[in-house]
Amino acid sequence: MNKFQVHLGDSEPSPPRSLLLSRPGLDNILLYMESTGTSHLSAKLKVEVSYDIVCTTEVLELIMRTPYEMMVNWTLAVTKYRNTIYISPVVPEDLKTSPMKELNADWLAKLRRHFLSENANAMLKPCDPMEPTGQYNGVFSFSINGTRFIFDSPVLAEGFRIGSVRNSNYVFTELQFRPDSMSVDEWATHNRCDALKWWSKCFLVGIENIYIANVNRHIIAHTINKISVRQLWKDCEKVWSPQVCVNFLVRLVDQIRSFMSVVDCPKTVYLMKFDASQGEISYTSYLGRNPFTFIPDWFPIMLDERMEDLTPTTLHKN
């Protein structure tokens, strides 16, 4: 446990809400696929992506938390092209973000500026914060129940030492904060909401340990504890179950594959909406190009252009 004092409440003014709520959708992972040639593609009658589901970690996290979500609605845009389903989060135009949620985002951003470094061989001093820079994303894949997923996620990484030598290998980790003193009701809310969010992110990208900064009532972060993700869910096992979260993901994806079975158009979009107050998920279809179309026009063109890279050239002797 490291001791220090960083006043998270002494922050710069927040950026405009429109910037806080902007998201790249699937742009990052589609550009990644374009940049890696044929690594994630296969050729049948036409070039296809070699996965059943392409999405972001936010999509998977939202779905996995749904069985225990009672407050926050979500909307997902779903399309299908050449046997692959693409799922992107949608930000409603009328989304209302609570002032407390915005403050928490500001405090977390400041905490990370004080304790994260772009230099793998140097650690910042808490009193010498780093200027905000871009977010690093990783690309991950896994298979559940025969369904192959590929997704991208913002990541943090840490190196580790063997004696006095820093190992060149890095592991993914996470940095969060919580109050150093909570009532029984506050702990219950924390375990049901924040802890579940942390666990779902860690589970999906393979994080084994998480750093949690303790913050007092004056919004001063004073210590950081490192706990295992296993311990995180063990502390919450009476509130939520990893098995329930994963099983719900499997069942919902199976339903998505079922109602999208007749779709093969990157412009057609099905909007899935979760109503937390009713515990219900509904969907509406938008055929052809529409305001919710999110697959860029260049992506299908790129797939066709990869055909000659995937098809062996036949040589004829004269």
Q: What is the pTM of this model?
A: 0.86
pLDDT per position as a tens digit, 113-135? 777 765 554 444 555 445 545 56
For 72-102, what is each residue's pLDDT tens digit? 999 999 999 999 999 999 986 655 667 777 7
Q: Comparing C-alpha atoms, which of 231, 208, 211, 207 is closest to residue 221?
A: 211
pLDDT given at position 137: 87
- In angstroms, the Cα distances linking 200 to 3, 43, 174, 204, 298 are 28, 34, 12, 6, 32
8, burial (CB in 10 Å: exposed 0-12, middle 13-18, buried 19+): buried
pLDDT of residue 84: 98
Q: Are 28 and 213 in contact (CB under 8 A)?
A: no
Q: Which of 161-165, 224-228, 259-263, 279-283 has the lowest mean pLDDT?
A: 161-165
| Alpha-carbon span 45 to 43, nearest angstrom | 7
